[in-house]
Amino acid sequence: MDKYKEMLHAASGAIKYIFNPNYNDRILLLTDKDSCNIAKAFEESFHTLNCLIDTYIILDKDRPLKEIPKELEALLPGKTIVLNIIKGHL
């Protein structure tokens, strides 16, 4: 099994175990360029459950965030699951 398929399998198992989502859930994935493959695996896993998904990518030039960007804040209402999938920066 290649690494992405392993990651997809792990993401699917994690979301089912932790969140037990269904098609009524509204998902927001917060990610960055370093973690976008991980976020993509979670996105694909949620898609198999017919969940609606929005993704917000934090750009390197905007890090660290000092406040919630208006574009991100606009995506939050109605979300039932929000995942922060970002690489920590010191």
Predicted structure pTM score: 0.90
Nearest alpha-carbon partner for 83 in 23, 41, 49, 48 = 41
Q: Where are the domains of the chain?
A: 3-85
In the structure, what pLDDT confidence band is assigned to residue 53 with cuts at 50, 70 and 90?
very high
User: Tens of pLDDT along 8-51?
Assistant: 999 999 999 999 999 999 999 999 999 999 999 999 999 999 99
